[in-house]
Copies of this chain bind each other. A is one copy, B any other.
Amino acid sequence: MEITRRNFKESLGAVYGAVEEADFLAIDGEFSGISDGPSVSALTNGMDTPEERYAKLRKHSMDFLLFQFGLCTFRYDQAQSKYLTKSFNFYIFPKPFSRTSPDIKFICQSSSIDFLASQGFDFNKVFRSGIPYLNQDEEAQLREQYEERRNQMNGSGTPSYISPLSGKGPVNVPDEHKDFINRVVEKVEALLNNSEKTVDLEPCSGLGVFSQKERFIQVSKVDEEERRRIEQQKQEREQEELNDAVGFSRVIHAISKSGKLVVGHNMLLDVMHTIHQFYCPLSRYPFYLAFRLLDTKLMASTQPFKDLITNTSLAELEKQLKEKPFKAPKVGCSEGFQCYDTAAEQLHEAGYDAYITGLCFVSMANYLGSFLTPPRAHISARSKLIEPFYNKLFLMRVVDIPYLNISGPDLQPKRDHVLYVTFPKEWKTSDLYQLFSAFGNIQVSWIDDTSAFVSLSQLEQVQIAMNTSQYAESYRIQTYADYMQSKQKSTSKNRKWAEDGWANTTCSHMHNRSLTGKRSISPTQEDQTSDFGVADSNWSHYTKKIKTDGEVEFVVFCSFCLCSNIAFISRNQIQ
């Protein structure tokens, strides 16, 4: 269903209903650009930490506009054993709702606009009929304005406008206005004494200049009851105006309030834009989210999917997840809703992208069910099998940190083989290759014009490279650790999640520990609500009990990197 400001109000009930009944929601956003600073490749440096990546996106991506929002709700119908979907494609535009309302400026990036244009994106629909929105501050401000005005009308509160002449004795009316004022006074006096209910004053503007549009003041006599009725009507109108101004943000509020799982593909920017545009300016990292999120790109890049899927781009993923060993999910569209045909590939329409993101999730979730004994064809969005993927957002192009963890500490991989190199801005990648040509294969991650990370393939060559560079004048080399330390010193506020040096512990080691029972695995979590990844005090493991037909089994995930295969432990193994 396509929703613009023309049909937004009448469609809102349907949207709320769809969110309410859904098992999970899939979303997607289209933006007017990606980076207003560095090139996209520098914005997504392969050696970024999650915190750095977040800070860069917050700084360089938030002035673009999220102007199309796709929402696809998935409800599992037990009787038909299939998901019924409802797709919504919202067009968003911050149309100023009054002359005093915020006049939003947003950036467009030619390459992004050109890409969307090539996909047939309808910019006219955005700019002519986009749904407005307010963030929470703006909403509060507007509400305050209305209340202040209402208090003023009722004689309470402080009036926001003090007449310049108040408290200055008799008003001195300029000669040329005296006639006019006298006529007004006569008319109002006459109204008080005659049986008319209203009188129209002569048109004029506040400055005594006659208005071209012939707007004029109408004075009415009303009794107390009539006054109350008018007041009441006005309040209702104001409330409606307020709702109209909050506009699309109401949909986001409903999604957040529902507590439903929200699925997206490579969704970090979608999430950041959604918060920034419809809630409040993004805070420093880490941030709290009133959403439960799952990123299908991360899921597809993780075991057991990683080895089965060669291309995790949304369109390719959707195709691969229809083929063995996966199964195309059984879906139908709810009555009255447009059915997308995946064969038609309406990619980069947000509603369509949300739809196939949901399909990908269902395929992958169901595939996890094949590991159960007995296997299950349908795995619900509430299944503990998928909890390890909660709130871990895919990090584009980062080599050794797969995700940004919204509800826990981030991975801190060892980067002992990485060097931080600064050099003159004339240098190109080839110069770096030449510089390190004695050290075998290298990987270059550009930071800016004059610095880059260089990863050596062999750890033992780091010291040699450092020694060689000692007397160099044109360039300078630091180890990654030294670089991070000096950087952290220069950051005034630096918070650390994990202080226990776990970065020195390899993941498989931790796994072994838990599988061999050296750490306590509690089978009593079954009925507890998951707190999304914060299951274990020092974050090393994620352990869940699955109950199937009288049998109790355990799935053990590594919550740090999700790198392990799913492991099943039978009851006797853990006792």
Contact = CB atoms under 8 A, between A and B. Distances in A.
Contacts of A65: 108
Interface string A92-136: 011110000001111111110110111001111011100000000
Contact of A128 (B106, B110, B117, B437): B117
A105 B107 contact: yes
A107 B110 contact: no
A164 interface: yes
A425 to B, nearest CB: 15
A406 B111 CA distance: 36
A110 B95 contact: yes
B110 A104 contact: yes
A117 to B, nearest CB: 4
A162 interface: yes
Nearest to A40: B103
Interface in A442-461: none
Nearest to A36: B105
Nearest to A103: B111
Given A122-B124, A127-B113, A163 B108 contact: no
Contacts of A110: 93-96, 103-106
B109 A107 contact: no
A193 B52 CA distance: 57
A242 B33 CA distance: 26
A41 to B, nearest CB: 11
Contacts of A168: 437
Contacts of A103: 39, 109-111
B95 A434 contact: no
A319 to B, nearest CB: 14
A160 B111 CA distance: 26
B113 A161 contact: no
A127 B106 contact: no
Contacts of A431: 162
Nearest to A65: B108
A343 interface: no
A316 to B, nearest CB: 10
Contacts of A161: 428, 430
B96 A111 contact: yes
A324 to B, nearest CB: 22
A108 B106 contact: yes
Contact of A105 (B94, B105, B108, B163): B108
B105 A437 contact: no
Contacts of A111: 96, 103
A279 interface: no
A344 interface: no
Contacts of A291: none
A165 interface: yes
A33 B104 CA distance: 11
A148 to B, nearest CB: 13
A146 interface: no
Contacts of A118: 128
Given A106-B107, A117-B127, A164 B433 contact: yes
Q: Which of A126, A127, A168 has the most CB of B within 10 A?
A: A127
Contact of A430 (B107, B113, B164, B433): B164
A437 B124 contact: no
Contacts of A114: 93, 95-96, 127
A165 B118 CA distance: 41
Contacts of A113: 93, 127
A105 B95 contact: no
A458 to B, nearest CB: 14
A165 B110 CA distance: 37
Given A162-B431, A165-B434, 6 more contacts: A103-B109, A105-B109, A106-B107, A106-B108, A124-B124, A164-B433
14 contacts: A32-B108, A93-B110, A96-B110, A96-B114, A103-B109, A103-B111, A104-B110, A105-B107, A114-B127, A123-B124, A160-B428, A162-B430, A164-B434, A164-B437
